Amino acid sequence: MSEASPLSSHNLHSAQPPLRKECPPGACDCERERLQADPKADRRVLCLTKDEEKRLIERIEAIASHAELMRIGQRLQEQLGVSLSIAPGSNEVRTMRGFVIQLGQRPGLCRKTRQAVPAAVRRCLERHPEIAFAILNANDLLGES
C-alpha cells in the first residue's frame, strides 16, 4: 500500500494531522514558537513533515513540463499557504543559476525546506531546459509572444 499523507482520509478522522518536529534550538529561523503562540495563525505549513517534504522534493525533481511546475506552485499555496516564485534574475540567464527561485518566508517554514525546494526546482530545470525556456518566455525574455 502507499504511504499515507497528512491529507489522506485516514488522518481526516484523527483529531490533528501529524506536525513537523521542532528544529533543534538555534538551528533554524522558522519562528515556529511565534506561529504556535498565535491562535489565529495559519498552521498548515506545519503539516509538511520531513517525510512529506522528501516526497515533495522527489515530485518536484520528476516534473517534466512547465504546466506541472506551475501546478506544484499552486498546490503549495493552496495546501500549505507557501508561495513559490521562479523568475529570471536581474542579470543575464546563462545557466540555471541565473534564475531566482524562492519559497516565501513565513512562520513555521523550516530554513532547510526554504533551501531544499528551490534546489529541487533548479535540478528539475537542469534536467528539462525546455521548462526554463518556458519560464523565460512567460517573462517575455525570449521576445516571443
Question: Each residue of 129-139: b (16+ CB within 10 Å) or e?
Answer: eebbbbbbeee
CB 122 within 8 A of CB 128: no
Cα 124 to Cα 18, 26, 34, 69, 109, distances in angstroms:
29, 31, 33, 9, 22
Q: pTM score, two decimals?
A: 0.79
Report residue 73 as a C-alpha cell.
Answer: 506552485
DSSP string, 22-38: PPPTTS----HHHHHH-
Write the single-letter amino acid at 7. Answer: L
CA 134/CA 124 separation, integer angstroms: 13
Give 19's pLDDT tier (boundaries 50, 70, 90): confident
Within 13 A of 5's CA, how many CA atoms are on the CB side? Answer: 9
Question: Each residue of 81-94: b (16+ CB within 10 Å) or e?
Answer: ebebebebeeeebe
Give 11's pLDDT tier (boundaries 50, 70, 90): very low
Task: Please work out, in degrees rounded to the nearest 5, the angle formed at the alpha carbon of residue 102 by the alpha carbons of 100 and 108.
Answer: 165
- Which pLDDT tens digit goes with each residue over 91-119? 766 666 778 899 988 899 999 999 999 99
Secondary structure class of 128 (helix, strand, coil): coil
Mean pLDDT of the chain: 83
Higher-pLDDT residue of 62, 140 = 62
